[in-house]
Amino acid sequence: MRLLIVDDDVELCSLLKEFLEREDYSVQCVHEGHAALDLAQQGGYDLIILDVMLPGLDGFEILKRLRLSSRVPVLMLTARGQDVDRIVGLELGADDYLPKPFNPRELSARVKAILRRTETKSNRGRVEVNGVLLDPGTREVICDGKAVEVTTLEFDILEQLMRNAGRVVSRDGLMESLYNRKSTPFDRSIDMHVSHLRRKLESSRPVIKTIRGVGYQFCQSPEDAVAG
C-alpha cells in the first residue's frame, strides 16, 4: 500500500515514515501544498495523510481541488480543539480526521480502518433499492439512471444502509464498522457524510430517514420516507 504524507513538519514526517514503513507501507512525504497537489493528482496512492496548515496551498484547498478528479481516501490532520477544521474537512470530502498531537499507533489504526473499507470486494453483488443502484465491484452509484459521484466513505455508508433497507442502522454500529472505534457525543463525522449523501441522492424524493437518537434507515420506497 502506498501512502502520501503531506505535512510541513519535516521531523514528524520522518518519524511517521519510519513507523509506517515498519508496518510494510510504502511512504512518500511532501512538505509544500502545490507539490503535494501535483503528486496527489498523479495518482498511485492508496491513501493520503493531509495536514491542514501548509505553505503554498493549505490542506483544505488541496482536498477541494483533489476531489474534483479523485476519490482517493484522505485522512486529515487537524489541530486539537479546532472543531471547525474537522467539519470543513468532512464537508470537502475527507474520510476521517485525527487531531494533533497523536500517537503513531492511533494513526496506524485509522489508516488500517480506511484501507480495509476501501479494498474492492467484487464478490459482493449489486444492490438496488428505491431507484438507487450500488455496485461494489466498480464502486459506482446510479440514482434514477444518473451516475452520482461519492467519496469512498460515503459509498461504504450507503452500502450498509442499502443492504439493510427498511431496517434501522445505528449510528454507533456505523462508527464501529467503518471507523473501528466507538462514537462520542462530539464526533459528527457519520452525520456529515449522511448529510452529503442526502444532498446527492434526494433531488426528487427522500431516501434516507433519520431515526432520532438511534441512527438511519434507507427507505425501501418513497412512501417509507413519510411513514412513522
Residues 36-94 have pLDDT tens digits of 999 999 989 999 999 999 999 999 999 999 998 888 999 999 886 677 888 888 888 89
Mean pLDDT estimate for the chain: 88
Q: Which residue stretches of 67-208 are H helix? A: 83-91, 104-118, 152-163, 171-179, 189-201
User: Given a cut of 60, is residue 228 above it in pLDDT?
Assistant: no
Q: Where are the beta strands (DSSP E) in the chain?
A: 2-6, 26-30, 47-51, 74-79, 96-100, 127-129, 132-135, 140-143, 146-148, 168-170, 208-211, 215-218
Question: Is 44 in a helix, a strand, or coil?
Answer: coil
Which CATH number does the domain housing residue 103 bear? 3.40.50.2300
**Do 222 and 163 share a domain, yes or no?**
yes
What b-and-e string marks burial along 128-143, b requiring 16 or more CB atoms within 10 Å of the CB? ebbebbbbbeebebeb
Boundary-marking domain end, from 50, 85, 118 = 118
Cis omega before residue 101 (within 30°)?
A: yes
The domain total for the chain is: 2
Q: What is the pLDDT of residue 123?
A: 54
Q: What is the pLDDT of residue 59?
A: 95
User: Given a cut of 60, is residue 24 above it in pLDDT?
Assistant: yes
**Do 133 and 217 share a domain, yes or no?**
yes
**Do 170 and 201 share a domain, yes or no?**
yes
pLDDT tens profile 101-145:
999 999 999 999 888 877 655 457 889 999 999 998 888 999 988
**Do 11 and 114 share a domain, yes or no?**
yes
Range of the domain at 201: 127-226
Measured over the CA atoms of residue 44, residue 50, residue 54 and residue 59, the dihedral's sign is positive
User: Given a cut of 80, is residue 182 above it in pLDDT?
Assistant: no
Q: What is the pLDDT of residue 172?
A: 87
User: Given a cut of 80, is residue 225 above it in pLDDT?
Assistant: no
CA 57 to chain CA centroid, nearest Å = 21
Full-model pTM: 0.71
